[in-house]
Amino acid sequence: MSNEFDSNDTLPDFAKVGQPVPEFTLDAFDPTEGGFVNVDLGALRKEGKWVILFFYPADFTFVCPTELADLATRYEDLKKLGAEVVSVSTDTQYSHMAWKTSERLLENVRFKMGADPTGEVSRFFDVWDYDTGLALRGTFIINPEGVLVSSEINFYNVGRNADELVRKVEANTYLIQHPAEVCPAKWTPGQKTLTPTDQMVGKVYEALIDVD
């Protein structure tokens, strides 16, 4: 079964933050079940899931297994926040299975490993490198309403930090319940948020420390 977008949607050129993401399917290897599955963004949306798409360049490379291993350490935390993680590269699901079996760094990976060999999904999320045919290191957070709320793209040579990804999901899950508020830099659950008003213009310092 090939990857495909819902033909009923008129696709924009690229995914854009703040805009809906069309429903699509993605072939994948499921390390938990040990077999091949189909990831359906529409089905995850109906379940009320947040979706994290974690693009990386290729299986059997060097930085990539360290990133997936790091992400695996926070997978249960992300699931508790209502999120499902799908790692994605331009390899096939068969390559994912072989890599997961041979690379010891991946022994704790339990999230589905999506296959995008045609690059269709990678091109839509603007991580496709036309010179190499690989995907750059892109991280995308889609809320349960299907809206892209976070986009991060890094080059090949620097790995990401799953702790910061968890922080972003924590902030976004809080804000979807409190839409009038905003989260300041380095916000973590339990810390003060801001509710912007005209009186706060030029007075953010005072608002953060409750000084009149």
Paired strand residues for 27: 38, 115
Candidate list 41, 64, 68, 134, residue with the active-site label: 64
Q: Please confirm, yes or no, whether 183 is among the known catalytic residues.
A: no
Residues 6+ apart with CB under 8 A from 153: 126, 127, 136, 137, 138, 139
152 touches 70 (CB < 8 A): no
Closest of 130, 40, 52 to residue 86, by C-alpha: 52
Counting Cα atoms < 13 Å in the Cβ hemisphere of 196 gives 7
Q: Which two tokens stand for residue 102?
A: 């041979």
**Residue 1 DSSP SS3:** coil
Please report how the helices 162-177 and 63-73 are oriented relative to each other, as an axis angle in degrees rounded to 10.
Answer: 50
The catalytic residue positions are 64
